[in-house]
A and B are shown apart, each in its own frame.
Chain A
Protein backbone atom coordinates (compact mmCIF):
# COMPACT_ATOMS: atom_id res chain seq x y z
CA UNK A 1 0.00 0.00 0.00
CA UNK A 2 1.07 3.52 -0.57
CA UNK A 3 1.93 5.92 2.18
CA UNK A 4 -1.47 7.50 1.69
CA UNK A 5 -0.19 11.00 1.07
CA UNK A 6 -2.95 13.03 -0.57
CA UNK A 7 -2.28 14.69 -3.90
CA UNK A 8 -3.44 17.82 -5.65
CA UNK A 9 -3.79 17.55 -9.40
CA UNK A 10 -4.55 19.89 -12.24
CA UNK A 11 -6.65 18.40 -15.00
CA UNK A 12 -7.24 19.47 -18.55
CA UNK A 13 -10.41 17.79 -19.74
CA UNK A 14 -12.18 17.79 -23.10
CA UNK A 15 -15.70 19.17 -22.71
CA UNK A 16 -18.25 18.88 -25.49
CA UNK A 17 -21.99 19.35 -24.94
CA UNK A 18 -23.13 16.94 -27.64
CA UNK A 19 -22.27 15.35 -30.95
CA UNK A 20 -22.86 18.50 -32.97
CA UNK A 21 -21.32 21.20 -30.85
CA UNK A 22 -17.67 22.15 -30.89
CA UNK A 23 -15.74 21.10 -27.82
CA UNK A 24 -12.86 22.62 -25.89
CA UNK A 25 -10.43 21.85 -23.11
CA UNK A 26 -11.29 23.09 -19.62
CA UNK A 27 -8.95 23.27 -16.65
CA UNK A 28 -9.90 21.82 -13.29
CA UNK A 29 -8.10 21.13 -10.05
CA UNK A 30 -8.86 18.28 -7.69
CA UNK A 31 -7.41 18.37 -4.24
CA UNK A 32 -6.84 15.71 -1.59
CA UNK A 33 -6.78 12.83 -4.04
CA UNK A 34 -5.92 9.57 -2.31
CA UNK A 35 -3.29 7.51 -4.13
CA UNK A 36 -5.49 4.47 -3.50
CA UNK A 37 -8.33 5.84 -5.59
CA UNK A 38 -8.88 4.55 -9.09
CA UNK A 39 -8.68 7.05 -11.92
CA UNK A 40 -12.45 6.95 -12.34
CA UNK A 41 -12.98 7.53 -8.60
CA UNK A 42 -10.84 10.62 -8.91
CA UNK A 43 -13.18 11.82 -11.68
CA UNK A 44 -16.16 10.96 -9.41
CA UNK A 45 -14.71 13.28 -6.78
CA UNK A 46 -14.31 16.02 -9.37
CA UNK A 47 -17.89 15.50 -10.56
CA UNK A 48 -19.27 15.71 -7.03
CA UNK A 49 -17.54 19.04 -6.61
CA UNK A 50 -18.88 20.23 -9.96
CA UNK A 51 -22.43 19.21 -9.03
CA UNK A 52 -22.20 21.07 -5.71
CA UNK A 53 -21.02 24.13 -7.60
CA UNK A 54 -23.97 23.76 -9.95
CA UNK A 55 -21.80 22.93 -12.96
CA UNK A 56 -22.31 20.16 -15.50
CA UNK A 57 -20.38 17.02 -14.41
CA UNK A 58 -17.87 15.47 -16.82
CA UNK A 59 -19.47 12.63 -18.79
CA UNK A 60 -17.35 9.49 -19.16
CA UNK A 61 -18.14 5.86 -19.94
CA UNK A 62 -17.83 3.23 -17.21
CA UNK A 63 -19.65 0.16 -16.03
CA UNK A 64 -17.87 -2.76 -14.39
CA UNK A 65 -14.93 -0.78 -13.00
CA UNK A 66 -12.89 -3.95 -12.85
CA UNK A 67 -11.42 -4.18 -16.32
CA UNK A 68 -13.85 -6.61 -17.92
CA UNK A 69 -16.54 -4.64 -19.72
CA UNK A 70 -14.48 -2.36 -21.91
CA UNK A 71 -16.62 0.71 -21.26
CA UNK A 72 -14.03 3.05 -19.85
CA UNK A 73 -12.22 4.85 -22.61
CA UNK A 74 -10.00 7.70 -21.54
CA UNK A 75 -6.94 9.00 -23.32
CA UNK A 76 -4.79 10.01 -20.38
CA UNK A 77 -1.64 12.06 -20.91
CA UNK A 78 -1.22 10.89 -24.46
CA UNK A 79 -1.93 7.20 -23.92
CA UNK A 80 -5.14 5.15 -23.91
CA UNK A 81 -6.01 4.00 -20.37
CA UNK A 82 -3.07 5.99 -19.04
CA UNK A 83 0.56 5.28 -18.26
CA UNK A 84 0.37 1.65 -17.10
CA UNK A 85 0.49 -1.36 -19.38
CA UNK A 86 -2.13 -4.08 -19.27
CA UNK A 87 -4.78 -2.16 -17.35
CA UNK A 88 -7.93 -0.26 -18.21
CA UNK A 89 -8.54 3.27 -16.93
CA UNK A 90 -10.82 1.89 -14.22
CA UNK A 91 -7.98 -0.32 -12.95
CA UNK A 92 -5.49 2.53 -12.98
CA UNK A 93 -4.71 3.92 -9.54
CA UNK A 94 -3.81 7.45 -8.66
CA UNK A 95 -0.54 6.21 -7.17
CA UNK A 96 0.65 6.10 -10.79
CA UNK A 97 0.64 9.91 -10.66
CA UNK A 98 2.38 12.36 -8.39
CA UNK A 99 1.38 15.39 -6.40
CA UNK A 100 1.07 18.51 -8.50
CA UNK A 101 1.02 16.63 -11.80
CA UNK A 102 -1.08 17.94 -14.65
CA UNK A 103 -3.13 15.38 -16.52
CA UNK A 104 -4.69 15.80 -19.97
CA UNK A 105 -7.84 13.70 -20.42
CA UNK A 106 -9.26 13.28 -23.92
CA UNK A 107 -11.85 11.06 -25.56
CA UNK A 108 -10.80 8.39 -28.10
CA UNK A 109 -10.10 10.26 -31.33
CA UNK A 110 -11.15 8.57 -34.56
CA UNK A 111 -13.73 9.55 -37.14
CA UNK A 112 -15.26 6.11 -36.72
CA UNK A 113 -15.76 6.89 -33.01
CA UNK A 114 -17.62 10.22 -32.92
CA UNK A 115 -17.80 12.01 -29.58
CA UNK A 116 -21.25 11.78 -28.00
CA UNK A 117 -20.54 14.00 -25.04
CA UNK A 118 -17.36 15.08 -23.22
CA UNK A 119 -15.26 11.92 -22.95
CA UNK A 120 -17.88 9.49 -24.26
CA UNK A 121 -17.54 8.22 -27.82
CA UNK A 122 -19.91 6.19 -29.96
CA UNK A 123 -18.28 2.80 -30.55
CA UNK A 124 -21.19 1.23 -32.44
CA UNK A 125 -18.86 0.80 -35.43
CA UNK A 126 -17.44 -2.17 -33.49
CA UNK A 127 -20.95 -3.61 -33.08
CA UNK A 128 -21.53 -3.36 -36.81
CA UNK A 129 -18.27 -5.20 -37.49
CA UNK A 130 -19.35 -7.99 -35.15
CA UNK A 131 -22.77 -8.10 -36.82
CA UNK A 132 -21.02 -8.51 -40.16
CA UNK A 133 -19.41 -11.81 -39.17
CA UNK A 134 -18.12 -12.01 -35.62
CA UNK A 135 -20.39 -14.89 -34.65
CA UNK A 136 -21.00 -18.60 -35.17
CA UNK A 137 -24.26 -19.50 -36.91
CA UNK A 138 -25.22 -22.79 -35.32
CA UNK A 139 -28.37 -23.88 -33.60
CA UNK A 140 -27.17 -24.79 -30.18
CA UNK A 141 -29.63 -27.66 -29.64
CA UNK A 142 -29.37 -29.72 -26.46
CA UNK A 143 -26.33 -29.52 -24.22
CA UNK A 144 -23.52 -31.54 -25.79
CA UNK A 145 -21.67 -34.21 -23.82
CA UNK A 146 -18.38 -33.06 -22.38
CA UNK A 147 -15.42 -33.79 -24.62
CA UNK A 148 -17.59 -34.80 -27.55
CA UNK A 149 -15.68 -32.27 -29.64
CA UNK A 150 -11.97 -32.50 -29.05
CA UNK A 151 -9.92 -29.35 -29.44
CA UNK A 152 -6.15 -29.27 -29.15
CA UNK A 153 -4.74 -27.41 -26.18
CA UNK A 154 -2.84 -25.03 -28.45
CA UNK A 155 -5.98 -24.06 -30.30
CA UNK A 156 -7.92 -23.57 -27.08
CA UNK A 157 -5.23 -21.38 -25.60
CA UNK A 158 -4.92 -19.39 -28.78
CA UNK A 159 -8.66 -18.82 -28.95
CA UNK A 160 -8.92 -17.92 -25.28
CA UNK A 161 -6.05 -15.43 -25.51
CA UNK A 162 -7.77 -13.71 -28.41
CA UNK A 163 -11.16 -13.89 -26.71
CA UNK A 164 -9.88 -11.65 -23.92
CA UNK A 165 -10.53 -8.60 -26.08
CA UNK A 166 -13.09 -6.44 -24.29
CA UNK A 167 -13.73 -4.20 -27.30
CA UNK A 168 -12.73 -1.00 -25.50
CA UNK A 169 -11.22 0.54 -28.62
CA UNK A 170 -7.86 1.52 -27.12
CA UNK A 171 -6.22 -0.03 -30.20
CA UNK A 172 -8.05 2.37 -32.50
CA UNK A 173 -7.43 5.26 -30.15
CA UNK A 174 -3.67 4.79 -29.99
CA UNK A 175 -3.07 3.83 -33.61
CA UNK A 176 -1.71 6.68 -35.70
CA UNK A 177 -3.91 5.30 -38.49
CA UNK A 178 -7.00 4.76 -36.30
CA UNK A 179 -6.89 1.14 -37.40
CA UNK A 180 -9.25 -1.39 -35.84
CA UNK A 181 -7.03 -4.30 -36.84
CA UNK A 182 -6.25 -5.52 -33.33
CA UNK A 183 -9.95 -5.65 -32.45
CA UNK A 184 -11.02 -7.33 -35.70
CA UNK A 185 -7.99 -9.61 -35.59
CA UNK A 186 -8.86 -10.71 -32.06
CA UNK A 187 -12.40 -11.60 -33.07
CA UNK A 188 -11.27 -13.47 -36.17
CA UNK A 189 -8.48 -15.29 -34.30
CA UNK A 190 -10.85 -16.18 -31.49
CA UNK A 191 -13.24 -18.06 -33.78
CA UNK A 192 -11.20 -19.27 -36.73
CA UNK A 193 -9.34 -22.16 -35.12
CA UNK A 194 -12.19 -23.58 -33.07
CA UNK A 195 -14.29 -26.36 -34.65
CA UNK A 196 -17.46 -24.33 -34.11
CA UNK A 197 -16.09 -21.23 -35.80
CA UNK A 198 -13.93 -22.73 -38.48
CA UNK A 199 -16.58 -23.58 -41.14
CA UNK A 200 -17.42 -19.90 -41.63
CA UNK A 201 -13.88 -18.56 -41.31
CA UNK A 202 -13.52 -17.31 -44.87
CA UNK A 203 -16.85 -15.58 -45.07
CA UNK A 204 -16.22 -14.12 -41.64
CA UNK A 205 -12.87 -12.66 -42.64
CA UNK A 206 -14.24 -11.15 -45.84
CA UNK A 207 -17.31 -9.62 -44.24
CA UNK A 208 -15.69 -8.28 -41.09
CA UNK A 209 -12.82 -6.69 -43.00
CA UNK A 210 -15.20 -5.20 -45.53
CA UNK A 211 -17.20 -3.64 -42.69
CA UNK A 212 -14.02 -2.45 -40.95
CA UNK A 213 -12.95 -0.61 -44.11
CA UNK A 214 -16.45 0.79 -44.59
CA UNK A 215 -16.54 2.27 -41.08
CA UNK A 216 -13.58 4.49 -41.94
CA UNK A 217 -10.87 2.90 -39.81
CA UNK A 218 -7.35 3.20 -41.23
CA UNK A 219 -5.11 0.29 -42.14
CA UNK A 220 -2.45 -1.37 -40.02
CA UNK A 221 1.13 -0.29 -40.70
CA UNK A 222 2.64 -2.54 -38.03
CA UNK A 223 3.67 0.20 -35.62
CA UNK A 224 2.50 -2.25 -32.95
CA UNK A 225 1.27 0.57 -30.72
CA UNK A 226 -2.08 -1.23 -30.29
CA UNK A 227 -0.55 -4.39 -28.87
CA UNK A 228 1.65 -2.31 -26.58
CA UNK A 229 -1.34 -0.42 -25.17
CA UNK A 230 -4.05 -3.12 -25.20
CA UNK A 231 -5.32 -3.47 -21.62
CA UNK A 232 -5.79 -7.19 -22.27
CA UNK A 233 -2.35 -7.49 -23.86
CA UNK A 234 -3.68 -9.02 -27.07
CA UNK A 235 -0.70 -9.77 -29.28
CA UNK A 236 0.12 -8.59 -32.82
CA UNK A 237 -0.27 -12.22 -33.69
CA UNK A 238 -4.03 -11.76 -34.11
CA UNK A 239 -3.47 -9.15 -36.82
CA UNK A 240 -1.20 -11.55 -38.65
CA UNK A 241 -3.89 -14.23 -38.29
CA UNK A 242 -6.48 -11.81 -39.67
CA UNK A 243 -4.34 -11.17 -42.76
CA UNK A 244 -3.72 -14.87 -43.29
CA UNK A 245 -7.43 -15.64 -42.98
CA UNK A 246 -8.14 -12.90 -45.50
CA UNK A 247 -5.54 -14.24 -47.93
CA UNK A 248 -6.98 -17.75 -47.59
CA UNK A 249 -10.45 -16.38 -48.19
CA UNK A 250 -9.45 -14.92 -51.55
CA UNK A 251 -11.06 -17.91 -53.33
CA UNK A 252 -14.43 -16.96 -51.95
CA UNK A 253 -14.20 -13.31 -52.86
CA UNK A 254 -16.66 -12.15 -55.48
Chain B
Protein backbone atom coordinates (compact mmCIF):
# COMPACT_ATOMS: atom_id res chain seq x y z
CA UNK B 1 0.00 0.00 0.00
CA UNK B 2 2.90 2.32 0.74
CA UNK B 3 3.82 2.56 -2.91
CA UNK B 4 0.25 3.45 -3.85
CA UNK B 5 0.09 6.31 -1.37
CA UNK B 6 3.46 7.52 -2.64
CA UNK B 7 2.20 7.33 -6.19
CA UNK B 8 -1.05 9.25 -5.71
CA UNK B 9 0.65 11.73 -3.43
CA UNK B 10 3.48 12.58 -5.84
CA UNK B 11 3.14 15.72 -7.95
CA UNK B 12 2.16 13.59 -10.95
CA UNK B 13 -0.07 11.20 -9.01
CA UNK B 14 -2.12 14.09 -7.60
CA UNK B 15 -2.74 15.33 -11.10
CA UNK B 16 -3.77 11.88 -12.29
CA UNK B 17 -6.31 11.72 -9.47
CA UNK B 18 -7.51 15.19 -10.48
CA UNK B 19 -7.94 14.07 -14.09
CA UNK B 20 -9.79 10.85 -13.26
CA UNK B 21 -12.17 12.43 -10.75
CA UNK B 22 -12.72 15.38 -13.09
CA UNK B 23 -13.64 13.15 -16.00
CA UNK B 24 -16.01 11.16 -13.82
CA UNK B 25 -17.70 14.38 -12.68
CA UNK B 26 -17.96 15.49 -16.32
CA UNK B 27 -19.78 12.28 -17.21
CA UNK B 28 -22.09 12.86 -14.26
CA UNK B 29 -22.94 16.29 -15.71
CA UNK B 30 -24.27 14.62 -18.86
CA UNK B 31 -26.53 12.28 -16.88
CA UNK B 32 -27.68 15.10 -14.61
CA UNK B 33 -28.46 17.34 -17.54
CA UNK B 34 -30.41 14.63 -19.33
CA UNK B 35 -32.67 14.30 -16.30
CA UNK B 36 -33.04 18.03 -15.78
CA UNK B 37 -34.10 18.67 -19.34
CA UNK B 38 -37.36 16.91 -18.43
CA UNK B 39 -38.18 20.15 -16.63
CA UNK B 40 -38.68 21.71 -20.03
CA UNK B 41 -41.17 19.05 -21.14
CA UNK B 42 -44.02 21.51 -20.70
CA UNK B 43 -46.16 18.96 -18.88
CA UNK B 44 -46.30 20.75 -15.54
CA UNK B 45 -43.52 18.52 -14.24
CA UNK B 46 -45.16 15.10 -14.59
CA UNK B 47 -42.21 13.41 -16.31
CA UNK B 48 -39.70 15.23 -14.16
CA UNK B 49 -41.47 14.09 -10.97
CA UNK B 50 -41.43 10.49 -12.14
CA UNK B 51 -37.72 10.72 -12.77
CA UNK B 52 -37.01 12.54 -9.49
CA UNK B 53 -38.94 9.97 -7.48
CA UNK B 54 -37.17 7.13 -9.22
CA UNK B 55 -33.76 8.68 -8.40
CA UNK B 56 -34.67 9.40 -4.77
CA UNK B 57 -36.06 5.95 -3.96
CA UNK B 58 -33.96 4.39 -1.22
CA UNK B 59 -34.45 0.96 -2.75
CA UNK B 60 -32.67 2.06 -5.92
CA UNK B 61 -29.32 0.45 -5.08
CA UNK B 62 -27.30 1.30 -8.22
CA UNK B 63 -28.23 4.97 -7.95
CA UNK B 64 -27.37 4.97 -4.23
CA UNK B 65 -23.93 3.48 -4.95
CA UNK B 66 -23.19 5.98 -7.72
CA UNK B 67 -24.41 8.76 -5.45
CA UNK B 68 -21.96 7.83 -2.69
CA UNK B 69 -19.12 7.41 -5.20
CA UNK B 70 -19.98 10.78 -6.66
CA UNK B 71 -19.78 12.53 -3.30
CA UNK B 72 -16.49 10.87 -2.40
CA UNK B 73 -14.93 11.72 -5.76
CA UNK B 74 -16.26 15.26 -5.65
CA UNK B 75 -14.80 15.86 -2.20
CA UNK B 76 -11.51 14.27 -3.24
CA UNK B 77 -11.44 16.47 -6.34
CA UNK B 78 -11.96 19.59 -4.23
CA UNK B 79 -9.48 18.76 -1.46
CA UNK B 80 -6.89 17.57 -3.96
CA UNK B 81 -7.34 20.73 -6.02
CA UNK B 82 -6.87 22.93 -2.97
CA UNK B 83 -3.75 20.98 -1.96
CA UNK B 84 -2.23 21.23 -5.44
CA UNK B 85 -2.92 24.95 -5.58
CA UNK B 86 -1.47 25.63 -2.16
CA UNK B 87 1.70 23.60 -2.87
CA UNK B 88 2.08 25.32 -6.22
CA UNK B 89 1.63 28.77 -4.74
CA UNK B 90 4.19 28.04 -2.05
CA UNK B 91 6.73 27.24 -4.75
CA UNK B 92 7.18 30.97 -5.41
CA UNK B 93 7.31 33.25 -2.38
CA UNK B 94 8.62 36.33 -4.15
CA UNK B 95 6.33 37.26 -7.00
CA UNK B 96 7.31 38.95 -10.24
CA UNK B 97 6.76 42.65 -10.62
CA UNK B 98 5.61 42.21 -14.19
CA UNK B 99 3.99 39.09 -15.63
CA UNK B 100 2.74 38.89 -19.20
CA UNK B 101 0.76 35.69 -18.71
CA UNK B 102 -1.56 36.13 -21.67
CA UNK B 103 1.48 35.86 -23.95
CA UNK B 104 1.89 32.19 -23.17
CA UNK B 105 -1.20 30.63 -21.60
CA UNK B 106 -4.97 30.83 -21.65
CA UNK B 107 -6.97 32.68 -19.03
CA UNK B 108 -9.00 29.51 -18.35
CA UNK B 109 -5.92 27.47 -17.46
CA UNK B 110 -4.89 30.09 -14.88
CA UNK B 111 -8.36 30.48 -13.39
CA UNK B 112 -9.10 26.91 -12.30
CA UNK B 113 -9.05 27.38 -8.53
CA UNK B 114 -11.21 30.52 -8.77
CA UNK B 115 -13.74 28.96 -11.13
CA UNK B 116 -13.70 25.83 -8.98
CA UNK B 117 -14.33 27.89 -5.84
CA UNK B 118 -17.40 29.58 -7.29
CA UNK B 119 -18.72 26.24 -8.54
CA UNK B 120 -18.28 24.92 -4.99
CA UNK B 121 -20.33 27.78 -3.51
CA UNK B 122 -22.94 27.14 -6.16
CA UNK B 123 -23.00 23.43 -5.30
CA UNK B 124 -23.61 24.10 -1.62
CA UNK B 125 -26.59 26.32 -2.44
CA UNK B 126 -27.81 23.94 -5.12
CA UNK B 127 -27.68 20.86 -2.89
CA UNK B 128 -29.37 22.71 -0.04
CA UNK B 129 -32.26 23.84 -2.22
CA UNK B 130 -32.94 20.59 -4.04
CA UNK B 131 -30.91 17.55 -3.11
CA UNK B 132 -30.90 17.43 0.69
CA UNK B 133 -34.57 18.28 1.33
CA UNK B 134 -35.87 15.77 -1.22
CA UNK B 135 -33.37 13.06 -0.40
CA UNK B 136 -33.73 13.11 3.37
CA UNK B 137 -37.18 14.53 4.15
CA UNK B 138 -40.53 14.98 2.44
CA UNK B 139 -41.27 18.62 1.72
CA UNK B 140 -44.91 19.52 1.05
CA UNK B 141 -44.38 20.90 -2.44
CA UNK B 142 -43.18 18.75 -5.32
CA UNK B 143 -39.63 19.09 -6.55
CA UNK B 144 -40.92 20.63 -9.78
CA UNK B 145 -42.65 23.33 -7.77
CA UNK B 146 -39.53 23.91 -5.70
CA UNK B 147 -37.48 24.33 -8.88
CA UNK B 148 -40.07 26.65 -10.36
CA UNK B 149 -40.22 28.86 -7.26
CA UNK B 150 -36.45 29.03 -6.95
CA UNK B 151 -35.88 29.90 -10.59
CA UNK B 152 -38.60 32.51 -10.72
CA UNK B 153 -36.41 34.49 -8.34
CA UNK B 154 -34.10 36.54 -10.57
CA UNK B 155 -31.31 36.53 -7.96
CA UNK B 156 -31.33 32.76 -7.73
CA UNK B 157 -31.49 32.31 -11.50
CA UNK B 158 -28.86 34.97 -12.03
CA UNK B 159 -26.40 33.23 -9.75
CA UNK B 160 -27.23 29.90 -11.40
CA UNK B 161 -26.41 31.25 -14.85
CA UNK B 162 -23.26 32.92 -13.54
CA UNK B 163 -22.14 29.63 -11.99
CA UNK B 164 -22.76 27.87 -15.31
CA UNK B 165 -20.50 30.36 -17.09
CA UNK B 166 -17.76 29.55 -14.57
CA UNK B 167 -18.42 25.85 -14.94
CA UNK B 168 -17.88 26.29 -18.67
CA UNK B 169 -14.57 28.05 -17.94
CA UNK B 170 -13.56 25.21 -15.64
CA UNK B 171 -14.51 22.47 -18.12
CA UNK B 172 -12.92 24.26 -21.05
CA UNK B 173 -9.49 23.79 -19.51
CA UNK B 174 -10.26 20.80 -17.33
CA UNK B 175 -11.51 18.31 -19.88
CA UNK B 176 -8.65 18.66 -22.34
CA UNK B 177 -6.13 18.92 -19.52
CA UNK B 178 -7.39 15.64 -18.04
CA UNK B 179 -6.78 13.79 -21.29
CA UNK B 180 -3.33 15.31 -21.48
CA UNK B 181 -2.55 14.29 -17.91
CA UNK B 182 -3.65 10.73 -18.63
CA UNK B 183 -1.25 10.56 -21.56
CA UNK B 184 -3.42 11.20 -24.60
CA UNK B 185 -1.47 13.84 -26.46
CA UNK B 186 -0.14 14.25 -29.96
CA UNK B 187 -0.22 16.67 -32.83
CA UNK B 188 -3.25 15.08 -34.47
CA UNK B 189 -5.47 14.19 -31.55
CA UNK B 190 -4.84 17.10 -29.15
CA UNK B 191 -6.38 19.85 -31.29
CA UNK B 192 -9.48 17.66 -31.65
CA UNK B 193 -9.63 17.00 -27.90
CA UNK B 194 -9.28 20.71 -27.17
CA UNK B 195 -12.08 21.67 -29.55
CA UNK B 196 -14.30 18.87 -28.27
CA UNK B 197 -13.61 19.95 -24.68
CA UNK B 198 -14.62 23.51 -25.48
CA UNK B 199 -17.74 22.36 -27.32
CA UNK B 200 -18.62 20.07 -24.41
CA UNK B 201 -18.19 22.94 -21.94
CA UNK B 202 -20.35 25.31 -23.95
CA UNK B 203 -23.12 22.83 -24.79
CA UNK B 204 -23.46 21.40 -21.27
CA UNK B 205 -23.42 24.76 -19.51
CA UNK B 206 -25.69 26.43 -22.00
CA UNK B 207 -28.22 23.63 -21.68
CA UNK B 208 -28.12 23.87 -17.88
CA UNK B 209 -28.48 27.65 -18.01
CA UNK B 210 -31.55 27.47 -20.24
CA UNK B 211 -33.55 25.84 -17.42
CA UNK B 212 -33.56 28.79 -14.96
CA UNK B 213 -34.08 31.22 -17.84
CA UNK B 214 -37.10 29.19 -18.97
CA UNK B 215 -38.73 29.55 -15.57
CA UNK B 216 -37.61 33.13 -15.13
CA UNK B 217 -39.39 34.06 -18.35
CA UNK B 218 -42.52 32.47 -16.94
CA UNK B 219 -42.62 29.59 -19.38
CA UNK B 220 -42.98 26.92 -16.68
CA UNK B 221 -46.58 26.02 -15.93
Residue ranges of A at the interface with B (Cβ–Cβ < 8 Å):
12, 14, 25, 75, 77-79, 83, 104, 106, 109-112, 174, 176-179, 209-210, 212-213, 216-225, 228-229, 236-237, 240, 242-244, 246-247, 250, 253-254
* CB <8 Å contact, A253 and B110: no
Please provide the chain B residues from 9 to 60 with a CB less than 8 Å away from any CB of chain A in the complex.
10-16
- The distance in angstroms between the C-alpha atoms of A250 and B13, with both chains bound, is 10
Q: Is the interface of A mostly helix, strand, loop or mixed?
A: mixed
Chain B interfacial positions (CB closer than 8 Å to A): 2-3, 6-7, 10-16, 84, 87-101, 103-106, 109-110, 112, 173, 176-177, 180-183, 185-186
**What's the minimum C-beta distance from B115 to chain A, rounded to whole angstroms?**
13
- Kindly report which residue of chain B lies nearest to residue A115, judged by CB atoms: B94
Q: Which residues of A contact B182 (CB under 8 A)?
A: 243
Q: Smallest CB-CB separation from B6: which chain A residue?
A: A253
Minimum CB–CB distance for B22 against chain A, Å: 12
Do A219 and B7 contact each other (CB < 8 Å), given the known contacts A174-B104, A176-B88, A177-B88? no
**Residues of A contacting B104 with CB < 8 Å?**
79, 174, 223-225, 228-229
> A78: which B residues are within 8 A, CB to CB?
96, 98-101, 103
Given A110-B91, A243-B183, A250-B3, also A79-B15 (CB < 8 A): no
A220's contact among B13, B15, B87, B112, by CB below 8 Å, is which? B15
Task: Tell whether, in the assembled complex, residue A225 and residue B101 are in contact, meaning their CB atoms are under 8 Å apart.
Answer: yes
| Neighbouring A residues of B186 by C-beta, 8 Å | 237
Which residue on B lies nearest to A240, using beta carbons? Answer: B185
B residues less than 8 Å from A242 (CB atoms): 12
A212: contacting residue among B2, B11, B103, B181, CB under 8 A: B11
Which of chain B's residues have a CB closer than 8 A to the CB of A111?
A: 90-93
Residues of A close to B7: CB separation below 8 A: 250, 253
Assess A216 versus B91: contact at CB under 8 Å? Given A221-B112, A247-B16. Answer: yes
**Nearest chain A CB to B183's CB is how many angstroms away?**
5
Taking CB as reference atom, which chain B residue is nearest A215?
B91
The minimal Cβ–Cβ distance linking A141 to chain B, given in whole angstroms, is: 35
A219 with B96, Cβ < 8 A, contacts A176-B101, A229-B104, A236-B185 known:
no
A223–chain B nearest beta-carbon distance, Å? 4
Report whether B93 and A240 are in contact in the complex, using a CB–CB cutoff of 8 Å: no
Interface pair A79/B100, CB less than 8 Å apart: yes
Find A222's partner among B14, B16, B177 (CB 8 Å cutoff): B177
Cβ of A178: which chain B residues have Cβ within 8 Å of it? 88, 91-92
Chain A positions within 8 Å of B112 at CB level: 221
B105–A219 CB distance below 8 A: no
**Closest-CB distance, B141 to chain A (whole angstroms):** 43
A224 to B105, Cβ gap below 8 A? yes
11 A-B pairs besides A177-B91, A243-B15 with CB distance below 8 A are A210-B10, A220-B11, A221-B109, A221-B177, A222-B176, A229-B104, A236-B185, A243-B181, A243-B182, A246-B10, A253-B6
Q: Which 7 residue pairs across A and B have the least CB separation, nearest first?
A: A78-B100, A218-B88, A177-B88, A219-B11, A178-B91, A228-B104, A218-B91
Q: Is the CB of A221 within 8 A of B98?
A: no
CA distance A109 to B105 in the complex (A): 18
User: Which of A176, A213, A216 has a CB less than 8 Å from the CB of B10?
Assistant: A213
Give bound CA distance, A14 to B94, whole Å: 12
Across the interface, which residues of B come within 8 angstroms of A209, CB to CB? 10-12
B113 to chain A, nearest CB (A): 9
Question: Which residues does chain B contribute within 8 Å of A174, judged by CB atoms?
Answer: 104
Q: Report which of B12, B87, B97, B180 forms a contact with A236, defined as CB distance below 8 A.
A: B180
> Could you say which residues of chain A place their CB within 8 Å of the CB of B109?
221-224
Task: Report the Cα distance A250→B183, complex, angstroms.
Answer: 15
